[in-house]
Amino acid sequence: ETKNNETTTQNNLYNGNGQRIQKQEGNNTINYYYQGSNVLYTTNGEGDKTSHNFVGLEGNTISTMRYDLTGLEYYVYNK
């Protein structure tokens, strides 16, 4: 990505199943933790949880809870 003539590089790390387990962009790191093929939760570079997904009986993500400095945000998905 290039903004105002500055380039940002994103580096990704994958496990043996082809799942992205880490994303680094600038000074930000996101780690991905899986339950089967679904992302169960993410953490930042300090190990603080940044999101948690709730998986339905059919293996689909039904809601997400995201953590930030001001509190929690909830997202519900309809299939």
List, for residues 29-76, the tens digit of each pLDDT value. Answer: 999 999 999 999 999 999 999 999 999 888 889 999 998 877 777 778
Give the confidence band of 8 by pLDDT, cuts at 50, 70, 90.
confident
Q: Where are the domains of the chain?
A: 30-79
Distance from C-alpha of 5 to C-alpha of 44, rounded to nearest angstrom: 27
C-alpha–C-alpha distance, residues 12 and 4, integer Å: 24
Amino acid at 27: N
Residue 28 has pLDDT above 70, yes or no: yes
More confident residue, 16 or 1: 16
pLDDT value at residue 1: 61
Q: How many C-beta atoms surround the C-beta of residue 65 within 10 A?
A: 15
Which pLDDT score, from 0 to 100, does residue 44 have? 95
pLDDT for residue 2 is more than 80:
no
